[in-house]
Amino acid sequence: MAGRGRLLLLVPTQSYRADDFLAAAARLGVEVVVGTDRCHRIEDAFGPSEGTLSLDYRKPEAAADEIARESARHPIAGVVPADDGTAVIAALAAERLGLPRNPPAAARRTASKLAQREALSAAGVPVPRFRAFPIAGGPDGPAAAVGYPCVLKPIGLSASRGVIRADDPASFREAWRRIVAILSASRGERKEREEGAGSQLLVEDFVPGAEVALEGLLRGGRLEVLALFDKPDPLDGPFFEETLYVTPSRHPAELQARVEAVIGAAAAALGLREGPVHAEARLGPAGPVILEVAARTIGGLCARSLRFGAGASLEELVVAHAMGLPLASIRRESQASGVMMLPIPRRGVLHGVTGVDAARDVAGIEDVIVTVPVGREVVPLPEGDAYLGFLFARGGTPDAVETALREAHRRLSFDIRAPLPTLG
């Protein structure tokens, strides 16, 4: 393995995605340098500073230049981003290093909900009907100009944060004000400072129907499907908190094939060519409609629900692809599997969790992980951007997996209390 070069893993310090990628690289015998955006917290987050690279994620071009300088000293042979923001830096850095990559313009399109919608619509890929409105103009004009029901979205925030359904002008105006407050509170976040992402709101038609999520890998522009997840809980709003992911999908094979074809067309329309893809789609009345295509793997710890070939993780596939190593089988295991992202029921301070052992005792449950430490304030969607933890299950059928996850969740109890008033 010596002389092959290192893998650069781009991961925000506050993320807990690093551990699984580092473990995957270790299993493959790949040396890793961790690129991170919190230089004063590197040692606390990732251990001793050797093997880390401090980068300013707010300045992708400068970060890519620093990566090129680092590679000139100690060669970097592959780059893996762990989230939407780092996908742009990964594309820029790989371009400078002459590595297989997504074009930087394509990565930028995936990081903006509006740019993504515009590119897909121009290419004839089905997306919800949409419009963007300047925040400075206020909600009254837009509320009178759109159809209902509709969904309001901040352009730059990730996942479902700030995404709110409106059914009439009054709820539209309330959703608008709520999102503006969320954006105001998040001004320090890098994505809301890029390309005017915080100056407009995206408004699109609400598309009824079930949601699915696809995990894939692009090699030379060809999408290889790794897994298609059902989302059994209805996501009808007013907020869009995801909970259950179960695979394999139980939808008809013909419909699954249409989903895969539409997502493949979306990736091509965005210009994506290499690396992981996570995509979300609605199964609307007229067929699959794209909600999101991201140049990264599935978020949180959800990838732990997937195994491939003789037990390889999703991260192993991604690391092997980035380093040009032979890929193990990308065929997903024969067992059904799933994950539940534990929702936050109310705002407050987490004082304790009970029922963890009882949840683990449910047949089919493989692990129960609470990621929020006791004493931490928790905030539900649409203001929040995290979950309480994760449940993982495997079983003979998707129905058995779903049943196990729901029963395990029923056995958990979270003691969340209002914070004490501040003495002034």
H or E, element range at 77: strand 76-81
What is the CB-side half-sphere exposure of residue 324 using CA atoms within 13 A? Answer: 10
Spell out a b/e string for 12-47, using b for 16 or more CB atoms within 10 Å of the CB, else e. Answer: bbebebbebbbebbeebebbbbbbbbeeeebeebbe
Strand, coil or helix: what is 314? helix
User: Domain 336-424 is classified in which CATH homologous superfamily?
Assistant: Aldehyde oxidase/xanthine dehydrogenase, a/b hammerhead (3.90.1170.50)
- Alpha-carbon distance of 113 to 156, in angstroms, equals 7
Q: What is the DSSP letter of 94?
A: H
- Give Cα separations from 105 to 63, 90, 197, 360, 392 (angstroms): 16, 12, 16, 45, 36
Q: Where in the chain is the domain with CATH 3.90.1170.50?
A: 336-424
Reported residue count of the chain is 424
CATH 3.30.1490.20 range(s) for the chain read: 129-205
What pLDDT does 85 receive?
Answer: 82
Q: Identify the CA nearest to 297 among candidates 73, 84, 52, 51.
A: 84
For 134-183, how does the pLDDT look when each residue is reduced to its tens digit (9 = 90+)?
999 999 999 999 999 999 999 988 778 999 999 999 999 999 999 999 99
**pLDDT at res. 318:** 97
How would CATH label the architecture of 129-205? 2-Layer Sandwich (3.30)
Q: Which residue has the tokens 């209390």?
A: 417
Here the tokens at position 330 are 């990308």
Which DSSP letter does residue 382 get? Answer: T
What angle (nearest 5°) sits at the alpha carbon of residue 66, between those of residues 60 and 67?
A: 90
Band the pLDDT of 421: cuts 50, 70, 90.
confident
Would you place residue 42 in the very low, low, confident or very high pLDDT band (cuts 50, 70, 90)?
very low
Three-state DSSP state, 386: coil
Sequence-distant (6+) residues with CB within 8 A of 212 are 228, 229, 230, 231, 249, 251, 259, 280, 281, 283, 288
Q: Give one word for 24, left, alpha or beta, with left for phi > 0 and alpha for psi -120 to 50.
A: alpha
In this structure, which long-range contacts are made by residues 115-123, counting pairs with CB atoms below 8 Å and at least 24 apart in sequence?
A: 115/195, 116/270, 116/292, 116/293, 117/202, 117/204, 119/269, 119/270, 119/271, 120/266, 120/269, 120/270, 120/290, 120/293, 122/269, 123/265, 123/268, 123/269
Distance CA 234, CA 288 (A): 16
- Give me the pLDDT at residue 195, please: 47
User: Are the C-beta atoms of 273 and 106 separated by less than 8 Å?
Assistant: yes
pLDDT of residue 49: 45
Question: Where do you find CATH 3.40.50.20 in the chain?
Answer: 6-109
Return the H-helix or E-strand segment holding 413: strand 413-417
Structure tokens at 307: 């195994």
DSSP-assigned letter for residue 295: S
Domain 6-109 belongs to what architecture? 3-Layer(aba) Sandwich (3.40)
pLDDT for 219-257, tens place per residue? 999 999 999 999 999 999 999 999 999 999 999 999 999
pLDDT of residue 2 exceeding 70: no
